[in-house]
Amino acid sequence: MELFVDSLKDIYWAEKHLTKALPKMQEKATTDELAQAFAGHLQETEGHVTRLEEIFDMLGEKAVTKKCEAMAGIIAEAEDIISDTKKDTMTRDVGLILAGQKAEHYEIATYGGLITLAKTLGLPEVAEVMVQTLEEEKAADQKLTDIAESNINVAASGEENS
């Protein structure tokens, strides 16, 4: 139970920081399609923060964050990608999609594990709340794959290195 609550604090930090990183990724994206995907997932991510607060409440725990080193690293990498790629290039979008998918996969792994743990701990109602978030993370990941496959990767392959 202690480990479960500790892990909730970690993903709570991650979700909160994603609500700050996603607007930057939206602003720096080249295509409208990718910018819209980040904007849409920002709204969902705000909902993920709220759901975690509901879960802390259900457990009678205070909603506090604990620095998530993994997500801090993924966000730092996204910032590096922005500074290492030229504005208005498809290469920029390829990099942002890669960074975005790393964030989604971290979230998918975390919620997947926490859902199993919540069930083991006899907290099915907590698991149920996290399932809703997990579905949105999976859909966001799929959306990024679809965008990459639609035309961005091909268009970027014709660009010179930045």
Q: Cite the DSSP H helix spans in 29-150.
A: 32-58, 69-84, 90-120, 124-147
Query: Nearest 5°: CA angle at 90, between 89 and 96?
Result: 100
Judged by CB under 5 A, the stretch of 12-20, 27-35, 122-130, 145-153 that binds Fe ion is: 12-20
User: Which among 70, 84, 67, 93 is positioned nearest to 6, based on CA atoms?
Assistant: 67
Binding Fe ion (rule: CB under 5 A), the pick from 78, 100, 107, 114 is 107
Q: Please tell me the count of residues contacting Fe ion according to CB under 5 A.
A: 6
Options 20-28, 61-69, 88-96, 100-108: segment touching Fe ion (CB under 5 A):
100-108
Q: Which stretch binds Fe ion (CB under 5 A): 44-52, 58-66, 67-75, 85-93?
A: 44-52
* Count of CB atoms situated within 10 Å of the CB of 137: 23
Q: Does 92 bind Fe ion (CB under 5 A)?
A: no
Interface with Fe ion includes 48 (CB under 5 A)? Answer: yes
Q: Does 28 bind Fe ion (CB under 5 A)?
A: no
Backbone angles phi, psi at 130, to 5 degrees: -70, -25
* Least CB distance to Fe ion at residue 4 (A): 18
Q: What are phi and psi of 31, to 5 degrees?
A: -90, 150
Tell me how crowded residue 150 is: count the other CB atoms within 10 A of its CB.
12
- Of residues 95 and 100, the one with the C-beta less far from Fe ion: 100
Q: Using CB under 5 A, list all residues that contact Fe ion.
A: 15, 45, 48, 104, 107, 137
